[in-house]
Structure 1
Amino acid sequence: MTITRVLAGVAAAAFALTSTAAMAETWRYAFEESMDEVQGKFAQKFKEEVEANTDHTIQLFPYGTLGESADIMEQAQAGILQFVDQSPGFTGSLIPEAQVFFVPYLLPTDQDQLARFYKNSKAINEDFQKLYADQGLELLTMFPEGEVAMTTKSPVESCADLNEVKFRVMTNPLLVESYRAFGATPTPLPWGEVYGGLQTNIIQGQENPTFFLYSTKIYEVTDYITYAGHNNFTTAVMANKDFYDGLGDADKKAIQAASDAAYDYIVDYQKGLADSELEKIKKAKPEMTVTVLTEEQRKCFKDAAADVETKFIEMTGDSGKKILDQLKADLKAAAQ
């Protein structure tokens, strides 16, 4: 921790100096996916906008080039990275309230409603700003990456089918509680261990949005894809706060404008993406079984969601309850 604080201090001082001198800089941006996946596409659009409107350049670091998710977050907080894209699934232990995005059936599956929600949400654009700032991070935006699907080695048509299934989850306390409530044996693992874990039967299931199931070839080591409508994958783009606060107004405006432009771009980019990627999976593995659960089949999962929501409030107290209530209000407004 001492080294981290020293690095953060050195980085903050360096960026304050270069910002004052209005010098062109190279800024570093890491994310959790490949260049061709959703986070990578967002990052490339962000880079394009920043470089078109400032003298600065952005160096992109896709998944694996700087370590796992925990590594890039530590580097962002230390000021080694200026920007980072990370799901609340990995920041849940750092910012407990961010786990709200893993309360099952809180988020709708309608993509247009989701796009309005993330863009206009008071909880995201005001309340979460303060929580991220407390951890040395400037929250630039959050955006959806698609409905989450379960991939397993045996069929899932009810919670009973998950009994004793070792189900990989992100290192997120509430996600652990969610799959425990669903009847599975939740097993937190970094992403780099998931394919091998499924291949060797250390785990028997995992969840991710459809495009990610195809791009990572996770369908090769599972046999069933199940849509229960229980969640939509959320991710957050952040800047190191000392770096951001040390910028001049023109650079701050350029970064915010780039974030807005990349948001609009990525929402449009994802239209039809889940369907096209699912077709690719079916073509690559015709024997793959794809199931969309009926309302009756989803009942046990929805019943379990109430217990998970209660757990979330127990974990986060009044702060979490206020966030949850505001998110529900924001979602209601987006539905209208």
Structure 2
Amino acid sequence: MMKNKYAFILLFIIVLGLLAGCTSGEADPDGDGKIKIIAAHNQTSPDNPYQTGMLKFKEVAEAESNGTIEVEVHAGTIGTEESQLVEKLQLGAADVVLVSPGFMTQTGMREVDLFSAPYLFTSYEHWLKAVDGEVGKEMADIINEKSDNSFKLLGYWSAGVRHYYGKKPIESVEDLEGLSLRTQTSGVVSDFWQATGAIPSGISWGELYQGLQQDVVDSSENAYPFFVQQAHHTTPNGKYITETGHDYTTRFLLINGEKFDQYSKEHQEIILKAAEASVKAERDATNAQDVEYKEKAIEEGAIVNEIDTQPFIDIARPILEDFAKEIEVEALLQKIIDLE
């Protein structure tokens, strides 16, 4: 009887050990102290700043770990839609991904959509103060807590400054009246453009060049590196660029929080260091391309004009305040406004 009891206890201990091994094996499947990280974004162009950032992440992680961390970078090859990347992150088929605030709301975190609102930030310096300061830390906590640690924020990347481009230049808000504009067709972004008199259109990004070329849509809005790489400025309805600067864009670099917690302390510190390096590399690349692709657009016949953005800001501010109240982030909005 006593023998059976000890045998049972021994079996119980062995089972516990096996279970513990299985858990840690998710982060280190071979048990040799090495881990492989699948890092992915949705842009297919090798010249895109996202690729620059991911390659810097890989470079630093592998160098600092002396090869105990291997990073495999995917540029649109495991998903060109953010929904695909987040699904892979949740399932463990990807470890580090890049997504936008607008998409994150689909996961139940409405608070992050504040970063999508037009004229939330009035300059690049204003954006930096927010995301690299207390506001950024607070948003990171929201993402981690609301996702039950499924998502851990590693850093804030930029996707440039978004401007209007279309079939005619914009000299005043009134010039937008009745123009169809490719943008979000619901939410705070749509509310803003409707308030200017424009008509939001949901044409897909992949079909936009043809849509601008064939007069399906009058205009669109995006940052220079993105729409110039797609040659939108060479179409009749993309030729005129007005620098509205309505969105200093934010992108979230995420890692699976549960998996991150399984890594060794040393590997965690290296991943955070690599993420910090990737943030700088991606932002620098984006800022450089903002200048480079603006020059390219002008050289290829696009016409660029600047505009007084204050009337646009005046339209956006009450919409922004109502939206912040709706998603219960009034205090966070005020902190951002105070940083101007």
TM-score (norm 2): 0.82
Structure 1 residue corresponding to 2:26, chosen from 16, 26, 31? 16
Cα-to-partner distance string for 1:117-151 (whole Å, 9 max, x where unaligned): 432x2121234333344222111111333221111
**Superposed, which structure 2 residues align to 1:240-255 within 5 Å?**
240-255=256-271
Q: Letter of the 1:312 partner, please give it.
A: F
* Cα drift, residue 72 of structure 1: 1.4
- Match in the other structure for 2:88: 75
Contiguous gaps of at least 5 residues in structure 1 = 1-11
The DSSP-based 3-state class of the residue aligned with 1:252 is: helix
Q: Structure 1: which 4+ aligned runs deviate by more than 4 Å?
A: 12-15
Give the corresponding residue for 2:103: 90
Relative distance call for 1:63 and 1:178 in structure 2 (3 A) is farther
Change (3 A) 1:255 1:264: same
Say whether residues 1:206 and 2:198 are aligned partners: no
TM-fit CA distance, 1:189: 4.6
Instruction: Report matched runs for 1:125-274 at 5 Å.
Output: 125-135=137-147, 136-170=150-184, 173-221=187-235, 222-274=238-290
Does residue 330 of structure 2 align to residue 321 of structure 1?
yes
Point out the more displaced range, 169-178 or 17-26.
17-26
| Structure 1 residue 65: Cα displacement | 4.5
| Distance in 1 between residues matched to 2:88 and 2:126, nearest whole Å | 34
Unaligned runs of 5+ in 2: 1-21
Q: Is the 8 A contact 1:139 1:237 kept in 2?
A: yes
Question: What is the number of equivalent residue pairs in this alignment?
Answer: 311
- TM-score relative to the length of structure 1: 0.83
Contact 2:89 2:256 in 1 (8 A): yes
Bigger mean CA deviation after superposition, 246-255 or 299-308: 299-308
Please name the residue that 2:13 is paired with. Answer: none
Structure 1 pair 99–182 and aligned structure 2 pair: CA distance change class (3 A): farther
Q: CA shift at 1:224, angstroms?
A: 1.0
CA shift for structure 1 position 292: 0.7
Partner residue, 1:276: 292
Distance 1:276 1:162, change over 3 A: same
Cα deviation digits, residues 291-326 of structure 1 (max 9, x gap): 110x3xx34312211232133124302xx2132123
Check if 1:101 corresponds to 2:115: yes
One of 66, 69, 76 as aligned partner of 1:56: 69
Q: Give the structure with higher Rg (CA).
A: 2
CA distance in 2, matches of 1:131, 1:322: 17
Contact 1:90 1:170 in 2 (8 A): no
Q: SS at 1:235's partner residue?
A: strand
Greater displacement, 216-225 / 199-208: 199-208
Q: Report the equivalent of 1:66.
A: 79
Given residue 41 of structure 2, which amino acid in structure 1 is its aligned partner?
F
The 3 A distance-change label for structure 1 pair 291 and 73 is same
SS state of the match for residue 144, structure 1?
Answer: strand
CA shift in 2, pair 1:133/1:48, >3 Å? farther
Alpha-carbon RMSD across the aligned residues, in angstroms, is 2.5
Deviation at 1:14, TM superposition (A): 7.4
Q: What's the CA shift for 1:220?
A: 2.4
